[in-house]
Amino acid sequence: MPPRTLHIAAACLIDDDGRLLLVRKRGTRMFMLPGGKREALESPLQTLARELHEELNLQLAEAAFTPLGHFNEAAANEADTRVEADIFRAALCHPVAPAAELEELRWLAPQDPRGDDLAPLLRLHVLPLLWPHD
């Protein structure tokens, strides 16, 4: 049986110090970008607006986001599942706190070690694009 595919949108939120915001959902081990699954008829940016509001109480205008790319990778926390991900980048100019299903936030700087608790999409695709010389 082929793996199922989740269509998601996620954001690289960068703070004033150049650090990337990572999130971990309750009951999981892997850190990933904030965002989530697209609902029927939602555009990636509509998904992102909804998810960031639910997860971080964050509201950013669509114009704040720059597309980073579209990726396909193994899902971090679901067996036999792949993610088709639209990834965007935006500046995060104020503090955020976890809400909804989020249990923990982590800030990752370009020089920080990359642990084995980073989602495959983040580790294999996003970080090499954000910080190509690391």
Give per-residue pLDDT as tens, 65-86. Answer: 999 999 999 899 888 999 999 9
Write down the pLDDT at residue 8: 96
Closest of 83, 85, 84, 86 to residue 65, by C-alpha: 86
Supply the CATH number for residue 82's domain. 3.90.79.10
Verdict on whether the full-model pTM lies above 0.85 = yes
pLDDT, the chain, mean = 93
Q: How many domains does the chain have?
A: 1
Mean pLDDT of the region 17-45? 94
What does the pLDDT look like over 77-133, one tens digit per residue?
A: 888 999 999 999 999 988 898 888 899 999 999 999 888 999 999 999 999 999 987
Burial status of residue 70 (CB atoms within 10 A of its CB: 0-12, 13-18, 19 or more): exposed
- The whole-angstrom separation of Cα 127 and Cα 132 is 7
Would you state the pLDDT for residue 115? Answer: 86
Buried b (16+ CB within 10 A) or exposed e, 22-44: bbbbeebebbbbbbbebeeebeb
- Give the C-alpha separation, 121 to 134, whole Å: 17
Q: In the 8-state DSSP scheme, what is residue 86? A: E
Q: Residue 106 belongs to what domain range?
A: 4-130
